[in-house]
Amino acid sequence: MSSHIVNVNESDFQAEVLLHSNQRPVVVDFWADWCVPCRTLDPILEKLTEEANGAFRLAKVDVDANPKVANDYGVRGIPAIKVFRNGQVVAEFSGLRPEPQVREFIKALAPATSDLNVGRADSLLTDEEWSEAEEIYRQVLDENPDHPGSLLGLARSLIAEGASSQALPILRAFPVSKEYAKAEQLRKQSLILKAGNSTKKTMTLWLHSSTLHCGWQAEARSSRPWMACWISCAEIKSIAKLKSVALFLVSLLYWETRTRKRVPIAPN
């Protein structure tokens, strides 16, 4: 049996299907020995799994041996096919279908090549490989100029490389999508970054990756600035990132000290 095909039971369904579906789609085939249509559908599913070469996993569940799993997921007749992604059922069908229809069903599960490349670039962005991530985002945008994930990722990589002025046009013309709110927030933060050491009373410095969020705000109030620093360190996964945060905060304290307004005391 292929390494992409597994027999699953009630004891390992959580690990082999639900948890594994966070990595790639898992197609669950609910079947039984006495089911004649299952004998026709099973070879089709196995063939398509081999052709996909790891794009998804095929998990086979014998409903007679594992009635609880079948009942939990509302299986009323077999064969029943349910697709899991991120622990949830995202597609399904029941009954026997000809190979062309099953092939189209499976084809719809595979993420587009552009999405796979964006995922790779996002990982590079997380690892602070800014220029490498930028290159991949640009390659995706060459084929699909309005791809929201690539546009947002490109803007983030440019900002991380200190090129906020190049990121702003991307964010200003960002297409309406589920990423729009993030792009708008990033646009506002980029404007402040671009302003640099201007006379603005409020400055926010924002650095983002999937493993680090660090923000700083200094605001003039009653001619005496105050400073608030916040760090979400729950996902910091390396000493290098922790050192960069420490260096960042030291820089902030230095800036606040150098720019603090001193109000002279009027003589009596």
The DSSP secondary-structure symbol of 21 reads G
Tell me whether residue 229 is one of the annotated catalytic residues: no
Tokens (6 digits) for 19? 């948890």
| Distance in angstroms (rounded) separating the CA atoms of residues 265 and 268 | 9
**Alpha carbon 213 to chain centroid, angstroms:** 15
Helices (H), the chain: 13, 36-52, 67-72, 99-107, 113-126, 130-143, 148-160, 164-172, 180-195, 239-259
Q: What are phi and psi of 28, to 5 degrees?
A: -100, 125
DSSP string, 136-164: HHHHHHHH-TT-HHHHHHHHHHHHHTT-H
Q: Helix (H, G, I), strand (E, B), or coil: what is residue 232?
A: strand
Residues 6+ apart with CB under 8 A from 237: 211
70 CB neighbour count, 10 Å cutoff: 20
Tell me whether residue 38 is one of the annotated catalytic residues: yes
The DSSP secondary-structure symbol of 129 reads -
Tokens (6 digits) for 260? 């603090």
Which residues are designated catalytic?
35, 38
